[in-house]
Amino acid sequence: MNIKPLFDRVIIKPEQDQTLSKSGIILPETSQDRPQIGVVVAVGDGTTFEGEQTDMKVKVGDKVVFNKYIGNEIKIDNETHVILRQIDIIGVVND
Amino acid sequence: MNIKPLFDRVIIKPEQDQTLSKSGIILPETSQDRPQIGVVVAVGDGTTFEGEQTDMKVKVGDKVVFNKYIGNEIKIDNETHVILRQIDIIGVVND
Amino acid sequence: MNIKPLFDRVIIKPEQDQTLSKSGIILPETSQDRPQIGVVVAVGDGTTFEGEQTDMKVKVGDKVVFNKYIGNEIKIDNETHVILRQIDIIGVVND
Amino acid sequence: MNIKPLFDRVIIKPEQDQTLSKSGIILPETSQDRPQIGVVVAVGDGTTFEGEQTDMKVKVGDKVVFNKYIGNEIKIDNETHVILRQIDIIGVVND
Amino acid sequence: MNIKPLFDRVIIKPEQDQTLSKSGIILPETSQDRPQIGVVVAVGDGTTFEGEQTDMKVKVGDKVVFNKYIGNEIKIDNETHVILRQIDIIGVVND
Amino acid sequence: MNIKPLFDRVIIKPEQDQTLSKSGIILPETSQDRPQIGVVVAVGDGTTFEGEQTDMKVKVGDKVVFNKYIGNEIKIDNETHVILRQIDIIGVVND
Amino acid sequence: MNIKPLFDRVIIKPEQDQTLSKSGIILPETSQDRPQIGVVVAVGDGTTFEGEQTDMKVKVGDKVVFNKYIGNEIKIDNETHVILRQIDIIGVVND
């Protein structure tokens, strides 16, 4: 990965397929807040905006659920990625 | 459960029947803020967004009352679940 | 009571009669902010949303004045109850 | 007094006459923010909403200036009273 | 002075003449935020709303610049005064 | 200078010429947020509104860049000055 | 550089070419929040607005991704620069 996120930010590559057949998880298009599944590709050092040091609870390769409308979109190798704060990741998926 | 909620988040499976006959609790459709009954299916590690460590006061299997319009909806095994922060759970029901 | 409120929340059963003859207190319908009288039926453990431990200053049976439009409505045994935070209780009535 | 205010709240009985002849203080009807004169009839224990313990700087019998539009109105013995937080009292009048 | 301001509040008597010839300071009518010149006539004990103890940096008799639209107006001996928090005083004038 | 700013406030005299030829800095009229160049003419004692003691990082005579729309305008010796908090000064210019 | 940013601010010179061929990063024009690539040309001393001392995680010469609409624009030697807080820098690019 060629970008190092600052603070407690995380870079996520959204999954094309929002259906995880093994875990039985589906993120419906119609959901108002649009949670989305993606894979963590880079993590910051865990400093929060408030100046605290926190644990990064996600690591590269983790499959996570996050809010589609939070964070910044960026294209890496022609694919859309999202950069957001760790607290905006809802959960880690074990597929 | 195949999702581990981050921080002080909790995954709840809403009950089909919003009438709890044994405890006499009914959550009326007409209530403006729409509290709802559900069962806890997964809990986070208790870190708050503010970086504090708190006790998780609910555990898997607890029947809880929560606000319908708070949190993220997600489908697991074709059933709607809600992920929200523990502080958005109003109370624990003993049915 | 079949619901245990979380954190510093309190469950209140509003009084039918908003006139307390002995104490001379009347809560007029026309008041803009609609304070209301009710009886405490359950109290949380006193943890605040901010993660502090506080004293619960009200106990089951206390007659209290609270803001009608704050908190969640819930029906218990066919009667409307309100769940709100202790700080939203204005005062304790000695009738 | 039959109501004990919670936290740092104070119950005030507004004065009929908003002109204090001895001190020369008049609170004009036309003032936009409508400060008002009243007498303290009950005080809370000084806990703030934020969980701190503070001094109650006003006591029963004090004549105070406060903002008309802050706090909750309540009728006691057929007379309107106001319940507000001590920090919303602007000053103490020596008439 | 017959009013004692609470907390870090200060009572100011606005000057009729907003031109200070000796210091060369003029507060133009056309200024959008309307700073104004006045004389401090009473000061609180320095407790802030947040419960901290602070120094009162102004004293009775100080000529100060403050924002016209902040604070409460009150009439004392038929003259308009303003009660505001010390942090809303912009500066002290040496005329 | 005849005004002493309170807290961490600073008085700035805006420059007529917003082009600094030596440093090559120009503040374009068309910029939406309107940063502006000026000279510091007075500084407060460094207490913040939050009650902390901070270093004053600018001193009288410093040429600074600040936001045009923040702070209070005041006329001193017939010239417009601006009073703002030190945190609203963007940077110090070495011309 | 002729401007020293105050606090935890950073001066960035936006890149003309928003495509980084080596790292494969492209910041699309159509992205709603408009992240942008630029080079750090000056950094503050790391004091935050809240009065904390923090590490400056970026240094002069770093290529960074930042939000186009945050911060102040300023022209230096006829070229547009942006001054923003370090926490508004999303990540550091290794191109």
Dump pLDDT digits (tens) for C13-65: 998 766 665 666 666 555 555 678 999 999 999 988 777 888 999 999 999 99
* Complex ipTM: 0.81
Subunits next to C (3 or more Cβ pairs <8 Å) are B, D
Q: How far does the CA of residue A30 sit from the closest CA of chain B (Å)?
A: 10
Q: What is the CATH code of the structural domain delimited by F9-90?
A: 2.30.33.40
- Domain ranges for chain C: 9-93
pLDDT score of G68:
77
- Provide the 8-state DSSP code for D51: S
8 Å CB contact of B74 and A86? no
pLDDT score of A7:
94
8 Å CB contact of E91 and F4? yes
Distance CA F77, CA F88 (A): 24
pLDDT score of E53:
84
pLDDT score of G87:
92
Contacts of A31 in chain B (CB under 8 A): 72-74
The answer on pLDDT for D73 being more than 80 is yes
Q: How far does the CA of residue D89 sit from the closest CA of chain C (Å)?
A: 16
- Chain F within 8 Å of E6 (Cβ-Cβ)? no
Q: Are G51 and F48 in contact (CB under 8 A)?
A: yes
Which of the listed CATH numbers 2.60.40.1180, 3.40.50.10860, 3.30.300.130, 2.30.33.40 matches domain C9-93? 2.30.33.40
| Interval B10-62: pLDDT, tens | 999 998 766 665 666 666 555 555 678 999 999 999 988 777 888 999 999 99
8 Å CB contact of B92 and C4? yes
Contacts of A2 in chain G (CB under 8 A): 20, 22-25, 93-95
Average pLDDT for F46-59: 87
Q: How far does the CA of residue C26 sit from the closest CA of chain D (Å)?
A: 5
| Interval E5-29: pLDDT, tens | 999 999 999 987 666 656 666 665 5
- Chain A within 8 Å of B29 (Cβ-Cβ)? no
Closest CA to D86 of D17, D40, D52: D40
Q: What is the SS3 assignment for chain F?
A: CCEEECCCEEEEEECCCCEECCCCEECCCCCCCCEEEEEEEEECCCECCCCCECCCCCCCCCEEEEECCCCEEEEECCEEEEEEEHHHEEEEECC
The answer on pLDDT for E75 being more than 80 is yes
Residue whose pair of structure tokens reads 């960074």 in the numeric block: G64
Contacts of G6 in chain F (CB under 8 A): 57-58, 86-87, 89-92
The CATH architecture one would assign to domain A9-89 is Roll (2.30)
> D–E: how many Cβ contacts below 8 A?
77
| Interval D22-63: pLDDT, tens | 666 666 555 555 678 999 999 999 988 777 888 999 999 999
Nearest residue in chain A measured CA to CA from G68: A72
Q: What is the CATH code of the structural domain delimited by G9-88?
A: 2.30.33.40
Q: Which amino acid belongs to residue C68?
A: K
pLDDT score of A9:
96
pLDDT band with cut points at 50, 70 and 90 for residue E64: very high
Contacts of E86 in chain F (CB under 8 A): 6
8 Å CB contact of G72 and F65? yes
Average pLDDT for F37-56: 89
Contacts of B83 in chain A (CB under 8 A): 35, 65, 90-91
